[in-house]
Amino acid sequence: MIGRHLIEPRDCSVEELEGIFQLAEKIIEAPETYAEACKGKLLATLFYEPSTRTRFSFEAAMLRLGGSIIGFDDPNASSAAKGETLSDTIRTICAYADAIVMRHPREGSAKLAAESSDKPLINAGDGGHQHPTQTLTDLLTIRQEKGRLENLTIGVCGDLKFGRTIHSLIRAMDRYAGIRFVFISPDELQLPSYVKDEITYASYEETKNLEAVMGELDILYMSRVQRERFVSEEEYLRLKDIYVLDAEKMKKAKPDAMILHPLPRVNEISVEVDQDPRAKYFEQAHYGMIVRMALLMKVLGVKEND
């Protein structure tokens, strides 16, 4: 994967993903082995909109590999404020850095930027479009915590209409064998038909009732109803707390079920669930950094000392 861009999750084949996950597993087992893996390498983090979580995750990943970082998280402080085009900014950064991580509010910006980049460019979110390292995070969490990516019943709950991490997760998991999805949402926030049409291998069913399906799920992926996606505040207020996962509902879950959430959460997972060993969303954040370490090593082509 040396020199490759990562714009959307499907830029990686299932085999390439497995390579990333195997390396991630080695990093988890012996992180000290990789403390200087990226020594002398420089990562540029270009954040045209703030995202503390994703930026910290990438920067922590690079620093833990012994690499260095430059970047900005306020576009007003960058040359974009002077009217420089995105492609000129990228060409300039390529003269300094070995790899680029970019977050930008406009959809499709990552692909446009990659066209001007001769260094690997990783999309850290382009508006409501793609956020591939979130998907890698979700997959690594499932693989590590369940021991497999096949033969799973995955409940996806909440805003299935606008949730881009959910759409990516569905597309990514559809490539593994024996996957069954249970889509749990109110009518207003159902999974769009263009996402359903793309499901090739998995089977799926749709329901409004979370409690009724709790006992069937190996994984429950909760998501936030995002205020910014609603035109009407009234509609948002009506739907925002439609699903709240609490200790009562957890009683119905399988003993080895796993609760995931891309974070930040609002009310959809009650704080009491955090103590439940089946709640894995904070581990998920840790896996997010690990998978970014593995990805950076892959695209930079550094030695993976076996």
Partner 1 sequence: MINVSKLKKGLVIDHIAAGSGYRIFRQLKLDELNDVVILMRNVPSRKMGKKDVIKIENHINLDLEVLGLIDPHATINVIENGNRAKKIALVLPKRVEGILKCKNPRCITQYEKVEAPVFYLANEEEKTYRCSYCDSPTQFEGGE
Binding to partner 1 (CB under 8 A) within 182-211 occurs at: 194
Which range touches partner 1 (CB under 8 A), out of 27-35, 79-87, 154-162, 242-250?
Answer: 79-87
CA 121, CA 133: separation in Å to the nearest integer? 12
5 forms part of the interface with partner 1 (CB under 8 A): no
Nearer to partner 1, 195 or 289 (CB): 195
Dihedral sign computed on CA atoms, order 133, 249, 208, 181: positive
Nearer to partner 1, 126 or 159 (CB): 126
Nearer to partner 1, 33 or 87 (CB): 87
Number of residues binding to partner 1, judged by CB under 8 A: 16
User: Least CB distance from residue 108 to partner 1, whole Å?
Assistant: 3
CB neighbours of 23 closer than 8 A, spacing ≥ 6?
294, 297, 298, 304
Kindly report the length of the chain: 306
Reduce the DSSP state of residue 78 to 3 states and report it: coil
Is there a catalytic annotation at residue 119? Answer: no
Query: What are the C-alpha distances in Å from 95 to residues 43, 70, 133, 194?
Result: 12, 13, 25, 40
Nearer to partner 1, 168 or 284 (CB): 168
User: Least CB distance from residue 132 to partner 1, whole Å?
Assistant: 14
φ, ψ at 113 (rounded to 5°): -65, -40
Is there a catalytic annotation at residue 238? Answer: no
Query: What are the C-alpha distances in Å from 134 to residues 91, 164, 266, 302?
Result: 26, 10, 18, 23
87 forms part of the interface with partner 1 (CB under 8 A): yes
CA 37, CA 291: separation in Å to the nearest integer? 15
Is there a catalytic annotation at residue 82? Answer: yes
Out of 33, 52, 85, 151, the only residue in the binding site for partner 1 (CB under 8 A) is: 85
User: Least CB distance from residue 84 to partner 1, whole Å?
Assistant: 11
Binding to partner 1 (CB under 8 A) within 99-138 occurs at: 104-109, 111-112, 126-129
Q: Cβ(156)–Cβ(181) under 8 Å?
A: yes
CA 61, CA 55: separation in Å to the nearest integer? 10
161 forms part of the interface with partner 1 (CB under 8 A): no
User: Least CB distance from residue 230 to partner 1, whole Å?
Assistant: 15
Residue whose token pair is 């994703």: 54
Out of 20, 38, 65, 86, the only residue in the binding site for partner 1 (CB under 8 A) is: 86
Catalytic residue from among 5, 55, 103, 119: 103
CA 30, CA 245: separation in Å to the nearest integer? 35
CA 3, CA 246: separation in Å to the nearest integer? 45
* Catalytic positions, written as ranges: 53-54, 82, 103, 131
The contact set with partner 1 (CB under 8 A) reads 85-87, 104-109, 111-112, 126-129, 194
